[in-house]
C-alpha cells in the first residue's frame, strides 16, 4: 500500500509539475507572476501529499515571522521544504547554485523570479558576488532563504554548516529566522517513497541583527540542531514532539498567511 500510494503521488506530482511548467509560461512576463505560480505549485503539492500519500505538513511558529525583508535559515533534509517554504513567503528568494539556471524551462523560471545564484567557478569572488545579489534582494523587501549546510542532509546526520549564512547575516543586517524540520522522515532525499504521517516545519524565534559572526553562527546552529533533533522524537498520531509553538496544518496555514501574500 505504501509503495502504491507513493507511486500514485509521484505520478500526480510530476504530471502537475509538467502542466504548470508549460501552462505557466505566460507568467514569465513578471517576477511576481512567477512567484505566484511557485506558491500555487507548493500548495498543490501539499494537497496531493495529504490526499494521495497521507502526509500532512504542519507549520509551527508562524507568529515568529516578522514582516519585511528577512534571512531564513532552514535545515535541508528533502525537496519537501523547498516546495513548502514557497507557500509561506510572498517575496521569497532562494540562494542556489548557478548551474540550476541552465536547466531548460526550469532555469527560465528561476532566472525570472530573481533567485540569488552562486557561481562557484568564481572562487573567492563567489561570496562577495552572492552578498551583492542578496543585498539587492533585501532592498527589494524580499525574504531570502538559505540552507546553511548547502545541500540535503540525511536525517540525524552530523551538522555540516558552511560560512555563507554568517556572511549574509553580517552583510545584510536583517533578522534571521531559523527553521527546524523533520521532513526527511517522510520524504527521503534518495527515495521515491512518501511516508504517511505529519511532517513539521517549525519557524523559531528570529535572531536580531547585530551579533558577531562567530556568535551568530554558533547560536543559529545550536537552535537549528536542537529543535530539529527534538522533532525527530516520535509523537502521537504520526506527529512529533519537542516543539513549543502552536501548530497549524497546511490547510490552516493557507488562511493564516493570506495577509502576507
pLDDT in tens, 43-59: 999 999 999 999 999 99
Minimal CA–CA distance to 37: which of 100, 83, 94?
83
- CA dist 170 to 63, 65, 213, Å? 24, 19, 7
Minimal CA–CA distance to 5: which of 187, 250, 217?
187
Residue reference for cell 509539475: 17
Q: Per-residue b/e over 39-76, b at no fewer than 16 CB within 10 Å?
A: bbbbbbbbebbbebbbbbbbbbbbebbeeebbbbbbbb
Sign of CA dihedral 129, 132, 136, 141: positive
Helices (H), the chain: 2-23, 31-48, 80-86, 106-112, 125-139, 164-172, 213-231, 250-256
> Cα(155)–Cα(86) distance, rounded to whole angstroms?
22
* Residue range 116-166, pLDDT digits in tens: 998 877 777 888 888 899 999 999 999 999 999 989 999 989 999 998 999
The answer to whether the predicted template modeling score (pTM) of the entire model surpasses 0.75 is yes
* Residue range 67-115, pLDDT digits in tens: 999 999 999 999 999 999 999 999 999 999 889 999 999 999 999 999 9
Amino acid at each position: 500500500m505504501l509503495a502504491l500510494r507513493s507511486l500514485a503521488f509521484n505520478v500526480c506530482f510530476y504530471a502537475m509539475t509538467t502542466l504548470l511548467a508549460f501552462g505557466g509560461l505566460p507568467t514569465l512576463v513578471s517576477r511576481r507572476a512567477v512567484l505566484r505560480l511557485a506558491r500555487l505549485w507548493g500548495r498543490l503539492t501539499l494537497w496531493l501529499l495529504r490526499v494521495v500519500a497521507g502526509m500532512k505538513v504542519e507549520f509551527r511558529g508562524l507568529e515568529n515571522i516578522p514582516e519585511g525583508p528577512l534571512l531564513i535559515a532552514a535545515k535541508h533534509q528533502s525537496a519537501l521544504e523547498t516546495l513548502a517554504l514557497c507557500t509561506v513567503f510572498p517575496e521569497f528568494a532562494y540562494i542556489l547554485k548557478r548551474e540550476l539556471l541552465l536547466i531548460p524551462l526550469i532555469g527560465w523560471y528561476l532566472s525570472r523570479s530573481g533567485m540569488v545564484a552562486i557561481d562557484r567557478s568564481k572562487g573567492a569572488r563567489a561570496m562577495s558576488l552572492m552578498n551583492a545579489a542578496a543585498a539587492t534582494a533585501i532592498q527589494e523587501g524580499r525574504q531570502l532563504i538559505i540552507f546553511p549546510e548547502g545541500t540535503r542532509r540525511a536525517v540525524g546526520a552530523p551538522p555540516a554548516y558552511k560560512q555563507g549564512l554568517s556572511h549574509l547575516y553580517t552583510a545584510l543586517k536583517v533578522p534571521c529566522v531559523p527553521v527546524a524540520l523533520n521532513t526527511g522522515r517522510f520524504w527521503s532525499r534518495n527515495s521515491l517513497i512518501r511516508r504517511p504521517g505529519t511532517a513539521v516545519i517549525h519557524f523559531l524565534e528570529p535572531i536580531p541583527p547585530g551579533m558577531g559572526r562567530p556568535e551568530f553562527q554558533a547560536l543559529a546552529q545550536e537552535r537549528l540542531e536542537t529543535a530539529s533533533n527534538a522533532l525527530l522524537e516520535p509523537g502521537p498520531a504520526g506527529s512529533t514532539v519537542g516543539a513549543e509553538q502552536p501548530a497549524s496544518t497546511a490547510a490552516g496555514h493557507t488562511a493564516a498567511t493570506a495577509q502576507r501574500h
